[in-house]
Amino acid sequence: MLAWLALAAQAEEPDAVMDALRTELDRTTRTLQGEDAPYFLGYRLTESTRFGLEARYGQLAEPVEPEGRRNRQLDVVARVGSPHRDSTHAVRGAFSFDPNIHLGKPLPLDDDPMALRVEIWNATGKEVRDARERWQRVKANQVVMVADEDPSADFSDADRVVDLRPLAARALDLQAWVPVVTELSGILDDDPQVHRSAVMLDGVATNTWIVTSEGTAIRQPRTWARVALQASTRAEDGTMVQLYRWKDVADPADLPDADTLRGWATDLRDDLLEMREAPSGDAYSGPVLLEGSAAGVFVHEVLGHRVEGHRQKDEDEGHTFRDKVGQRILPPFVDIVDDPTLAEWEGLPLNGHYAYDEEGVPAQRAVLVEDGVFRGFLMSRSPIEGFAESNGHGRAQPWRQPVSRMANTIVSTSEPHPREELRRMLIAEAKRQGRPFGLIVEDIEGGFTLTGRIYPNAFNVRAVTAWRVYTDGRPDERVRNIDLVGTPLIALQNVMALGDDPAVFNGFCGAESGSVPNAAVSPSMLLRTLEVQKKEKDSERPPILPKPAEGGDT
Helix (H, G, I), strand (E, B) or coil at 172: coil
* Residues 144-175: tens digit of each pLDDT: 888 888 889 999 999 999 999 999 986 667 88
- Residue 103, Cβ neighbours under 10 Å: how many? 10
What is the Cα–Cα distance from 477 to 468, expressed in whole angstroms?
5
DSSP state, residue 147: P
Return all residues near 553 (Cβ < 8 A) that are at least 6 apart: 546
Give yes or no for a contact between 74 and 42, defined as CB atoms under 8 angstroms apart. no
Report the pLDDT averaged over residues 501-516.
93
Distances in Å between the Cα of 36 and the Cα atoms of 76, 132, 204, 481 are: 17, 6, 40, 56
> Has residue 295 got a pLDDT over 80?
yes
Q: Return the bridge partners of 71, or none.
A: 48
Distances in Å between the Cα of 411 and the Cα atoms of 88, 121, 220, 347, 370 are: 34, 45, 28, 17, 10
Domain ranges of the chain: 16-277, 284-534
Measured between alpha carbons, how far apart are the two ends of the chain, in Å? Answer: 40
Helix (H, G, I), strand (E, B) or coil at 524: coil
Q: Which amino acid is at 269?
A: R
- Residue 427, Cβ neighbours under 10 Å: how many? 20
Report the pLDDT averaged over residues 325-348.
96
Query: Which pLDDT band holds residue 94 (cuts at 50, 70, 90)?
Result: low
Report the pLDDT averaged over residues 237-252.
89
Give yes or no for a contact between 153 and 387, defined as CB atoms under 8 angstroms apart. no
How much is the pLDDT for 90? 87
Query: Which pLDDT band holds residue 536 (cuts at 50, 70, 90)?
Result: confident
Query: Which pLDDT band holds residue 100 (cuts at 50, 70, 90)?
Result: very low
Report the pLDDT averaged over residues 379-384.
97
Q: 16-277 maps to which CATH number?
A: 3.30.2290.10
What is the Cα–Cα distance from 362 to 378, expressed in whole angstroms?
13
> Has residue 1 got a pLDDT over 50?
no
Answer with the residue of higher pLDDT: 281 or 526: 526
Strands (DSSP E) found in 29-188: 38-56, 59-60, 69-80, 105-106, 162-164
DSSP state, residue 362: B
Strongest mean pLDDT among 94-98, 192-196, 296-300, 418-422: 418-422
Return all residues near 544 (Cβ < 8 A) that are at least 6 apart: none
> Has residue 343 got a pLDDT over 80?
yes
Phi, psi of 501 (to 5 degrees): -130, 60
Its sign, for the CA torsion 357, 360, 362, 366, is negative
Question: What one-character-per-residue DSSP string does 457-500 give?
Answer: --EEEEEEEEEEEETTSPPPEEEBSEEEEE-HHHHHHTEEEEES
